[in-house]
Chain A
Amino acid sequence: MSWFEKYNALKTIIIKEYLRFIRIWIQTVLPPAITTALYFIIFGKLIGSQIGDINGYKYMDYIVPGLILMAVITNSYGNVVSSFYSAKFQKSIEELLVSPTPNYLILIGYISGGVARGIIVGIVVTLVAMYFSDIQVHSYTLSLFVFILTATLFSIAGFINAIYANSFDDISIIPTFVLTPLTYLGGIFYSIEMLPDFWQTLSLANPILYMISSFRYGMIGTSDTDITTAIMIIIGFTLVLFTFAMHLLNKGTGIRQ
């Protein structure tokens, strides 16, 4: 395939993926807005007013970055895992497999779909957050970088989950039993400095902590972890998962007999 043909193939996958989740926006974009609004009302307004400041920031302002990133993580992952597994289930993935589209473009196309949903949901959740909190951005570059990188990382993770999935149960096991606990324990609602030493150390093994911390730093200027280390960890995870996903695609795991 020439570069122009590859461009057309990638564009096609991205357009298809974008239209897929936009067409069902009531299932894909609206729920995170409602869920986040409930978090703000319950944790921010009702309980948050009793908690006081964390690291010198109002509790409501402190949880905003984590809630935005949680929506991004859940939706990027969910978009790719459901779209790719659905294509496997209906066998429509064969449309791509018989074509000359290279595997890396298939992967980038699906990741782009996940990132696109992450961005749109992130924007919607930020708009909801602006109603409850005075959002200030400490570093636009860092915030945007972490935002896109996190969406990319979880899109790849969703892709790998879909490759291994053999039933619809398999695509909900990881989000329910791994992703949600790690996200909640990743410091969205608290600073790990508030935890006993043992739990503080254990929290450092949670990769989501580094994403939330660095995104929070980008937005309000405070963090639980060293920013450079956090960025390196996120980039490292992204590269490892991308390489692994490519290996699975090239081998044909779960998609070619």
Chain B
Amino acid sequence: MYALEIEHLKKTYSSGTKALKGVDLKVEKGDFFALLGPNGAGKSTTIGIVSGLVNKSAGSVKIFGYDYDTHQAQAKSCIGLVPQEFNFNQFERVIEILVNQGGYYGIPRPQAYKRAETYLRQLELWDKRNDMARELSGGMKRRLMIARALIHHPKLLILDEPTAGVDIEIRRSMWDFLTKINKQGTTIILTTHYLEEAESLCKNIAIIDHGRTIEDTSMKTLLSQLNTETFILYLQSPINDTHNLKSHDLSPFDIHVLDENTLEISIHEKMQFNHLFKLLTDNGIQVLSMRNKTNRLEQLFMRLVDKNRNNSELIETLEQTSHTENLDG
């Protein structure tokens, strides 16, 4: 049994926009799962359908074995949702928001209050419990939504860009918190535009684009597809004519001079850094420091999305051609 099982999910909005054209997804129990995709790819629509905020047009959704069409209440009880936008009453007190949410899941008020205290303390919001929600900072509001999503002890926690607009310190503490509850057994699905976040937290990953799943695999398998990485090297002294970067030995490396103190070098996974550094040293080039040009997942993500975009354009062109031929014929 999967924590989440989506098959052939389709959604056409009343405006005619086809947001989902057939999404398939399987999330294992206990997983920390990344759901990625460019803006407008269909991530939020998928999450909306899974959490009951959007009506699907076709397909099936099962949550811990409960079919959404036949066992909606049981399915909903398994999910905790942290949406992208703030969706609480800004004029309610923090503690009331949590206790009320517990109530909607059938939890008696004294018990909901105790749970609220636990999560507010863990997320460092206990001191703010009697403040109006609108008085909280952006980071606090995000943490409030996490506490609210956890009040009924969901087995599956869905976070739609939970760290958007949050400073790095709070983001790190949120990562620690999410890792902790994942280790305690909560399955987590995360959508984010911070690919570093997905790479460091998630075990498995799916990428959605143009309303379709274009990749669904483990993070390790996906990253292994990346056979070339690009690095930026900062040099101790400027490059000059005495340095022969076009020598035969350095030719396997794709080297670009960005400025007199900076090099960009692409390295195949089978090449050794030791070899590169030896060749650079032999050429009299001393490297002070280096960094990845882009995040590894980001490189793959862009590659997959570009490839899918080309395929989608090709399919659309073929469909249009076929349509025109049918009309002519």
Nearest opposing residue in chain A for B77, CB measure: A100
Interface SS of chain A: helix, strand, loop or mixed?
Answer: helix
B89 x A4 contact (CB < 8 A): no
Tell me if A234 is interfacial: C-beta within 8 Å of chain B.
no
Interface positions of A from 1 to 35, Cβ below 8 Å from B: 1-2, 4-6, 8-9, 11-13, 15-16
Tell me if B83 is interfacial: C-beta within 8 Å of chain A.
yes
A8 x B77 contact (CB < 8 A): no
Tell me if B242 is interfacial: C-beta within 8 Å of chain A.
no
Within the complex, the shortest CB–CB distance from B226 to chain A, in Å, comes to 37
B74 x A98 contact (CB < 8 A): no
Tell me if B107 is interfacial: C-beta within 8 Å of chain A.
yes
A98 x B73 contact (CB < 8 A): no
Interface positions of A from 79 to 105, Cβ below 8 Å from B: 86-87, 90-92, 94-102
Please name all residues of chain A whose beta carbon is closer than 8 Å to the beta carbon of B51 when the two chains form the complex: 98
Within the complex, the shortest CB–CB distance from A93 to chain B, in Å, comes to 8
Tell me if A257 is interfacial: C-beta within 8 Å of chain B.
yes
Nearest opposing residue in chain B for A6, CB measure: B106
Please name all residues of chain B whose beta carbon is closer than 8 Å to the beta carbon of A101 when the two chains form the complex: 104-105
Interface positions of B from 66 to 125, Cβ below 8 Å from A: 72-74, 76-77, 79, 81, 83, 85-90, 92, 96-97, 99-109
From B73, B81, B108, contact of A1 by CB (8 A): B73
Q: Could you tell me how many residues of chain B have their Cβ less than 8 Å away from some Cβ of chain A? A: 37
A257 x B55 contact (CB < 8 A): yes
Most central of B76, B87, B104 by chain A CB within 10 Å: B104
Tell me if A252 is interfacial: C-beta within 8 Å of chain B.
yes
User: Given A94-B53, A256-B55, is A9 in contact with B103 using a C-beta cutoff of 8 Å?
Assistant: yes
- Give Cα A88 to B253, complex, Å: 58
- Give Cα A97 to B52, complex, Å: 7
Please name all residues of chain A whose beta carbon is closer than 8 Å to the beta carbon of B13 when the two chains form the complex: 257
A257 x B107 contact (CB < 8 A): no
Interface positions of B from 35 to 58, Cβ below 8 Å from A: 48, 51-55
Nearest opposing residue in chain B for A11, CB measure: B103
Please name all residues of chain A whose beta carbon is closer than 8 Å to the beta carbon of B53 when the two chains form the complex: 94, 97-98, 256-257
A-B contact count (CB 8 A): 89
- Give Cα A91 to B97, complex, Å: 13
Nearest opposing residue in chain B for A255, CB measure: B53
- Give Cα A16 to B87, complex, Å: 16
A91 x B87 contact (CB < 8 A): yes
B54 x A257 contact (CB < 8 A): yes
Interface positions of B from 194 to 220, Cβ below 8 Å from A: none
A8 x B106 contact (CB < 8 A): yes
B87 x A95 contact (CB < 8 A): yes
Please name all residues of chain B whose beta carbon is closer than 8 Å to the beta carbon of A94 when the two chains form the complex: 53, 83, 87
- Give Cα A87 to B92, complex, Å: 11
From B72, B88, B106, contact of A9 by CB (8 A): B106
A252 x B105 contact (CB < 8 A): no
From A4, A12, A99, A102, contact of B109 by CB (8 A): A12
Most central of A5, A15, A97, A100 by chain B CB within 10 Å: A100
- Give Cα A6 to B105, complex, Å: 8
A99 x B101 contact (CB < 8 A): yes
Most central of A1, A8, A87, A98 by chain B CB within 10 Å: A98
A90 x B106 contact (CB < 8 A): no
Nearest opposing residue in chain B for A16, CB measure: B100
A92 x B89 contact (CB < 8 A): yes
From B87, B103, B107, contact of A90 by CB (8 A): B87
Please name all residues of chain A whose beta carbon is closer than 8 Å to the beta carbon of B96 when the two chains form the complex: 16
A91 x B85 contact (CB < 8 A): yes
Please name all residues of chain B whose beta carbon is closer than 8 Å to the beta carbon of A5 when the two chains form the complex: 105-107
Please name all residues of chain B whose beta carbon is closer than 8 Å to the beta carbon of A98 when the two chains form the complex: 51-53, 76, 79, 81
A12 x B100 contact (CB < 8 A): yes
Please name all residues of chain A whose beta carbon is closer than 8 Å to the beta carbon of B90 when the two chains form the complex: 90
Interface string of A194-230 (1 = CB under 8 A from B): 0000000000000000000000000000000000000
Please name all residues of chain B whose beta carbon is closer than 8 Å to the beta carbon of A92 when the two chains form the complex: 87-89, 92
Interface positions of B from 1 to 27, Cβ below 8 Å from A: 13-14
- Give Cα A48 to B97, complex, Å: 50
Interface positions of B from 111 to 170, Cβ below 8 Å from A: 148
A100 x B73 contact (CB < 8 A): yes
Please name all residues of chain A whose beta carbon is closer than 8 Å to the beta carbon of B105 when the two chains form the complex: 5, 9, 99-101
- Give Cα A8 to B55, complex, Å: 27
Please name all residues of chain A whose beta carbon is closer than 8 Å to the beta carbon of B73 when the two chains form the complex: 1, 100, 102
Most central of B96, B103, B105 by chain A CB within 10 Å: B103
Within the complex, the shortest CB–CB distance from A11 to chain B, in Å, comes to 7
Q: Which residues of A contact B (CB under 8 A)?
A: 1-2, 4-6, 8-9, 11-13, 15-16, 86-87, 90-92, 94-102, 252, 256-257
Name the 5 nearest CB pairs between A and B, nearest first: A5-B106, A12-B103, A99-B104, A91-B87, A100-B73
Q: Could you list 30 examples of A-B contacts with CB < 8 Å?
A: A1-B73, A4-B106, A9-B105, A12-B99, A12-B103, A15-B103, A16-B100, A86-B89, A87-B89, A90-B87, A90-B89, A91-B86, A91-B87, A92-B89, A95-B101, A95-B104, A97-B52, A98-B53, A98-B76, A98-B81, A99-B101, A99-B104, A100-B74, A100-B76, A100-B105, A100-B106, A101-B105, A257-B13, A257-B48, A257-B55
